[in-house]
């Protein structure tokens, strides 16, 4: 019988797993949160992923459960494991991805490089941390933040008074002096095989990934090796299975610090769909089924990924395609089936080639056709 992969979450990451599973001859089923989501093509169920009974019903005849996001509660994950369902990544590593304070605690325990940080429970503790770290710091809500949400730069605890009202600790971090943001993508199978893609540079816009350059320009071998070692250590020591993204700061003194972790396919890896021998989505399916991992070699010297943020203010992306495809025939367009909305990720464009300036120009030009 062909393997059946169950994906919890109906977003664009689940959507982009579908063609890879089809090509491999596997069945992919999706538990979507609502009707009409990005992965509706494979949505065999619609329901609440925070309800254990709903999730167990979805999982009862699949070979493995994996995820479009990291928000499934720990009690639901525990119920899956207790029922004998293979869950990748498992509850323990997902707990680290779900809580930024726990993430910092675990990375510190493992001796991996992170910004100076503290868990602060009240205004006095935060003001002390601010005074000890240059007068301005980053404050994050430990759970639920993404794409710049749940993150503030503050000079006084009063600037997050509303967050303290919830009664939960906050994560405070030094304001890192960095030259750029990088990302190291890896995959690990339950048997322990690890594969790593080239280190990439990511360019953020208002806290959202806007562009990715693969490989990262001006990355000396020592920097790439250090990033690979960090990702391998995170994957192996935390027991991550599937795709792992390690978002990094390259500091002004040339060091690397871990910013965030994602235990699923990630925006920084969308370039692999057209620019690598094995895409992150195929690799994730291989990994969670404990199959041999594919080559992560780049197909071209350069690949640039541009996110389509917001989309057109009138009409649809499909209506823009005739001009876009004619103008940029070497571009690869990936649309997520989402209604346009300011700041929303509605698709991305990949372009590969030999000259970075030319590749960047063509990628930006292609993406420009799809948004206003």
The reported pLDDT for the residue numbered 145 is 62
User: What global pTM score does this model have?
Assistant: 0.95
Pick the more confident residue, 148 or 103.
103
Cα–chain-centroid distance for residue 330?
26
The reported pLDDT for the residue numbered 167 is 86
Pick the more confident residue, 314 or 126.
126
The reported pLDDT for the residue numbered 316 is 87
pLDDT in tens, 15-52: 999 999 999 999 999 999 999 999 998 889 999 999 99
Report helix, strand or coil for 171. Answer: strand
Locus of tokens 């997050």: 160
Locus of tokens 């367009």: 333
The reported pLDDT for the residue numbered 149 is 76
The reported pLDDT for the residue numbered 367 is 96
- Whether the per-residue pLDDT at 284 is higher than 70: the answer is yes
Pick the more confident residue, 145 or 347.
347
The reported pLDDT for the residue numbered 27 is 95
CB 7 within 8 A of CB 68: yes
Compute the C-alpha angle 190/191/192, nearest 5°.
90
Beta bridge partners of 87: 65
Compute the C-alpha angle 326/332/338, nearest 5°.
100
Q: Which tokens is 37 given?
A: 């989501």
DSSP per-residue codes, 289-352? TTPPPPP--BSSSEEEEEEEES--SSS-HHHHHHHHHHH-TT-EEEE------TT-EEEEEEEE
Q: What pLDDT band is residue 148 in, cutting at 50, 70 and 90? A: low
- Whether the per-residue pLDDT at 315 is higher than 90: the answer is no
The reported pLDDT for the residue numbered 372 is 77
The reported pLDDT for the residue numbered 146 is 64
Q: What pLDDT band is residue 264 in, cutting at 50, 70 and 90? A: very high
CB 229 within 8 A of CB 210: no
pLDDT in tens, 211-242: 999 999 998 999 999 999 999 999 999 999 99
- Whether the per-residue pLDDT at 343 is higher than 90: the answer is no
Q: Which of 37-41, 196-200, 284-288 has the lowest mean pLDDT?
A: 37-41
The average confidence (pLDDT) of the chain is 95
- Whether the per-residue pLDDT at 112 is higher than 70: the answer is yes
């Amino acid at each position: 019988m062909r393997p059946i992969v169950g994906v919890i979450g109906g977003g664009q990451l689940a959507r982009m797993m579908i063609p890879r599973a089809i090509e491999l001859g596997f069945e992919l089923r999706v538990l979507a949160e609502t009707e009409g989501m990005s992965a509706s093509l494979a949505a065999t169920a619609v329901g609440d992923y925070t309800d254990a009974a709903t999730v167990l019903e979805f999982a009862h005849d699949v070979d493995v459960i994996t995820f479009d996001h990291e928000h499934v509660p720990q009690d639901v994950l525990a119920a899956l494991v207790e029922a004998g369902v293979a869950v990748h990544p498992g509850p323990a590593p997902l707990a680290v991805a779900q809580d930024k304070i726990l993430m910092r605690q675990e990375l510190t325990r493992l001796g991996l490089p992170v910004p100076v940080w503290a868990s602060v429970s009240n205004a006095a503790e935060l003001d002390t941390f601010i005074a000890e770290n240059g007068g301005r710091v980053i404050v994050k809500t430990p759970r639920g933040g993404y794409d710049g949400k749940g993150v503030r730069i503050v000079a006084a605890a009063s600037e997050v008074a509303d967050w303290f009202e919830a009664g939960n600790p906050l994560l405070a971090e030094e304001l890192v002096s960095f030259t750029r943001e990088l990302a190291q993508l890896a995959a690990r199978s339950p048997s322990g095989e690890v594969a790593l893609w080239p280190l990439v540079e990511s360019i953020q816009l208002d806290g959202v990934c806007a562009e990715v350059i693969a490989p990262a320009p001006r990355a000396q071998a020592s920097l790439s090796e250090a990033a690979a070692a960090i990702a391998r250590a995170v994957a192996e020591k935390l027991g991550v299975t599937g795709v792992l993204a390690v978002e990094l700061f390259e500091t002004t003194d040339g060091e690397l610090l871990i910013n965030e972790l994602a235990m699923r396919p990630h925006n920084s890896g969308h370039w692999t769909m057209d620019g690598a021998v094995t895409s992150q989505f195929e690799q994730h399916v291989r990994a969670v089924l404990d199959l041999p991992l594919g080559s992560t070699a780049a197909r071209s010297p350069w690949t640039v990924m541009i996110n389509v943020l917001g989309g057109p203010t009138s009409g649809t992306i499909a209506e823009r395609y005739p001009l876009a495809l004619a103008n940029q025939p070497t571009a690869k367009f990936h649309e997520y089936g989402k209604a346009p909305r300011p700041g929303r990720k509605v698709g991305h464009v990949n372009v590969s080639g030999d000259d970075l300036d030319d590749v960047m120009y063509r990628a930006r030009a292609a993406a420009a056709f799809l948004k206003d």
